[in-house]
Structure 1
Amino acid sequence: MDKKPTIDDVAKMAGVARATVSRVLNSSPNTSKRARERVIQAVSALNYQVNQQARQLASGASRILALVFAADAEAEPNSYYHSAVELGAIRACNEQGYGLVTHTLDPAKQSYRSSILALADDGRSDGLVLTPPFCDDHELIQALQSKGFPFVLVSAGPDARHLSCSVGIDDRQAGLELGVYLLLQGHRRFGFITGPLDHKSAALRLEGFLEALDNAGHSDQIIEVADGNFTFKSGIDQAEGLLSRNDRPTALVCANDDMAAGALFTAHRLGLIVPADLSITGFDDTPVSQIVWPPLTTIHQPLRLIGSKAVELLIADVMRENGSTTRVAEAHLVSFQLVERGSTSKISVPPSLEALPISG
């Protein structure tokens, strides 16, 4: 395999210092027109960085980043997740003089991968922020890395976090803490509505919850799992099945707030009193969690912070001064918090169960 050109190769061909190449690539003003032209010509001749930065230099760097979300054309949009991440990303872009363009793609269509790679090739943006489920597509990650195109992952699973730079919370730990919380409240029959199957972060929330049950000496027979898709409607539909059982759960855990709001709607329609008859929890701490009644106990995920941190990491990658396509796979985990509200309460526990060990 041919060795990819480095910034030193560009400097040698252009007959300038390495620092001069760096200033040209970063659009710094203190560079002569002649030196700039030489660097641009060398970058083009060597095909330095396949992200087409060289082609942008002739008219100035784009200073545009692309944020890629998943959008299912057959389902209603998530009420807040995308907006919050985007707001955080926009804020960080504004602070550093960048623009942001948002793209939505259907992960159910196989063409999404080629569409994302086209974003890396068209020269209109300097880097990508990939959200779930695109952030866990190993083939896509490796293809972007082979191009040397900067990108950052949001809420990626453990495997993807080992491949590339990422930012998010520890979803498994959050699920575990939620499980410990409900066990300490006395609950021993659970329902769990998961997110889409290709969302690793949602799967980790369930894994953490199951770990809490296992740590307390319980088998998975005390929990019924239903597949949701993060929408309000899926919360309604899946809750109806779970709550119509003779041995219905005393606590219903939802992998996001939209589904929890839907589950709450179903509980009200079935005549259940929340939290006296049923505790319900969400995830994300989006605005909907506070406007439903009763307000939802949920996991606060700092979505705006995640969006802004992703952009900061991406810009740092874009501004790197070497031509290597090998980037450090750093997992930046931000803190989360369990927010207790009115949708959960303690229930009485039989004396035989009170001594069960519960560890987090």
Structure 2
Amino acid sequence: MSKYAQELRNTAKAMMAEGKGILAMDESNGTCNKRFKNLDIEPVEENRRAYRELLITAPDLGNYISGAILYDETIRQSTKDGVSFVKAMQDAGIIPGIKVDTGAKDLAARPNEKVTEGLDGLRDRIAEYYEMGARFAKWRSVITIGDGIPSDGCIEANAHGLARYAVLCQEGGLVPIVEPEVLINGDHTIETCYEVTEKTLHEVFRQLYVQNAAYDQMILKPSMVISGADCSQQASVEEVASETVRCLMNCVPASVPGIAFLSGGQSEQRASAHLNEMNAKYRSQFPWRVTFSYARAIQQPALNYWKGEQSNVEEAQKRLVERAKLNSEASKGNYSQSMEKEPALV
């Protein structure tokens, strides 16, 4: 058992606090720059720093966000007033987290499939991040649905990587967010998504067991069971909720403290509606907390408004907090479309 076991349990419990979720803001520099370019924001480090400062210093964000996942560049940065981002987050009651994988790379002998890398040197990186104030980590694996894929080899390789990462985190004092993402890309049906998601989650928890991971000291960050983005038959909000819950109930041990969904390319409002439906209808059956760990589905309204302009920061922060608040309501089953100020984007 890790010497950090009780601390890890406490951190996981705090991350899954009632009415709160996790803000994913760990986009790589390349991904962040791409989003900036789409809005004619200059893709330079100072703009990335300024944008991340906008996010973590948004007033009252800690009322709805328990933790935020940072990128390596971000955890080393400070506000324009010289306060480290880690300290600013701690002062706001937001637990600092860190992305520790080095990205999804082509899986050898498996065309069109990926495996996430980053295990080499991970123990030392975890030790450094813990010293810097991080208390949880994230590792994302991607599973693609397509012609003849995913293969068993792909699912097993990614699940093994997630499990190895998880036990290294627990050994080093970081709560691992285990993120097996079944991509929304494709024309597959919700039935196919269910089959692949169930198979993936079973293998992930098998590998976690084999590697001696402590289920009560981790968070699961899965994708929802949903129709492929290009599928002609899009499942309803009710169907996504019922199939996702059925899958989780069949796969996720009751001792896991919480499940924090990724948004995976859903619109902001659809991501909130799906989460809300699960909690409104099935919450009494859950052995775990079911909440959100969204990136674009929380950040996008703020980024769209900010556009790199200091004069837009205050209003952009209000939009960020509003989106976080709506997802907080969804995590309690209290969200409704009528709460939206913008027209529906579903």
- For the aligned pair, the TM-score class normalised by the smaller chain equals under 0.3
TM-score (norm 2): 0.27
Structure whose CA Rg is larger: 1
TM-score (norm 1): 0.26
